[in-house]
């Protein structure tokens, strides 16, 4: 193969890669973005914060269940953890209601793991 043919082949390969990359980027669904609308900023921030708190609450709940099954909690600790988790859940729902958010609005997409709820 001559030098000229090698360069031509290399250029075509590079163009094809760029074209495929561009096509991949264009065909992907648009990413969800934060809404900077001044009317909606508070609600968006509250939704994000409550979603994170709900995620942490669920982790704590699973940890408590694991410890309960392993019998590493005293009856008093079981009662305290149960009440604290219930109050936290109620508080999350009250704040969500105040900002007109459904519990489903607090559902996080965890990628390959799935949804939070």
pLDDT at 38 over 80: no
Query: What would the pLDDT profile of 61-114 be if each residue is shown by its tens digit?
Result: 999 999 999 999 999 999 999 999 999 999 999 999 998 888 888 887 767 776
The band of 3, judged by pLDDT with boundaries at 50, 70 and 90, is low
Task: Please tell me the distance from the alpha carbon of residue 21 to that of residue 53, in angstroms, as a whole number.
Answer: 37
Taking a C-beta distance cutoff of 8 angstroms, is the pair 110, 116 a contact? yes
Q: What ranges do the domains of the chain cover?
A: 41-107
Helix/strand/coil for 113: helix
Residues in the chain: 117
Task: Please tell me the distance from the alpha carbon of residue 30 to that of residue 114, in angstroms, as a whole number.
Answer: 19
Q: Which ranges in the chain belong to alpha helices (H)?
A: 3-27, 41-69, 75-98
**DSSP line for 44-65:** HHHHHHHHHHHHHHHHHHHHHH
pLDDT computed for residue 28 by the predictor: 47
Query: What would the pLDDT profile of 49-60 be if each residue is shown by its tens digit?
Result: 999 999 899 999
């Amino acid at each position: 193969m001559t030098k000229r043919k090698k360069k031509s082949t290399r250029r075509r390969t590079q163009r094809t890669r760029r074209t495929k990359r561009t096509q991949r980027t264009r065909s992907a669904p648009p990413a969800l973005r934060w809404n900077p609308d001044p009317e909606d900023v508070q609600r968006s921030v509250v939704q994000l914060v409550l979603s994170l708190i709900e995620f942490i609450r669920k982790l704590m709940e699973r940890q408590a269940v694991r410890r309960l099954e392993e019998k590493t909690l005293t009856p008093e600790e079981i009662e305290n953890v149960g009440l604290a988790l219930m109050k936290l859940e109620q508080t999350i729902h009250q704040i969500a209601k105040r900002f007109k958010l459904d519990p489903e609005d607090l559902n996080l997409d965890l990628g390959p793991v799935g949804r939070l709820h």
